[in-house]
Amino acid sequence: MVCTKLRKTISKLAKKRHFVASALIVDGKCEKVLLVKHRKLKAWLPPGGHIRENELPDECAVREAKEETSLDVEIVSEAFDVSGARVETIHTPLLAQLEEIDSEHQHIDLQYLCKIAGGKLHEGKHEEHEQAKWFDERMLKESEELQADVRENAFLALEKARELRERGLF
Over residues 65-98, the pLDDT tens digits come to 999 999 999 999 988 888 899 999 999 999 999 9
User: Is pLDDT above 80 for 52?
Assistant: yes
Where are the domains positioned within the chain? 15-166
What integer is the mean pLDDT of 45-69? 97
User: Is pLDDT above 90 for 135?
Assistant: yes
Tell me, what amino acid is at 164?
L
Q: Label residue 122 by pLDDT band (50, 70, 90).
A: confident
Q: What is the DSSP string of 76-93?
A: ---------SS----PPP
Mean of pLDDT over the chain: 91
Tell me, what amino acid is at 34?
L
Q: Specify the range with the lowest mean pLDDT, choosing from 81-85, 86-90, 122-126, 157-161.
A: 122-126
Q: Label residue 126 by pLDDT band (50, 70, 90).
A: confident
Q: Specify whether the CB–CB gap between 111 and 24 falls below 8 A.
A: yes
Neighbours of 84 (CB within 10 A): 8
Q: Label residue 7 by pLDDT band (50, 70, 90).
A: low
User: Is pLDDT above 60 for 110?
Assistant: yes
- pLDDT of 11: 55
Given 3.30.2230.10, 3.40.50.2300, 3.90.79.10, 3.30.530.20, which CATH number is that of 15-166?
3.90.79.10
Q: Specify whether the CB–CB gap between 58 and 65 falls below 8 A.
A: no
- How many Å apart are CA 49 and CA 128, to the nearest integer? 10
Share of the chain above pLDDT 70, in %: 92
- pLDDT of 9: 57
- pLDDT of 87: 92
Torsion of CA 69, 31, 20, 47, to 10 degrees: -20
Q: Label residue 41 by pLDDT band (50, 70, 90).
A: confident
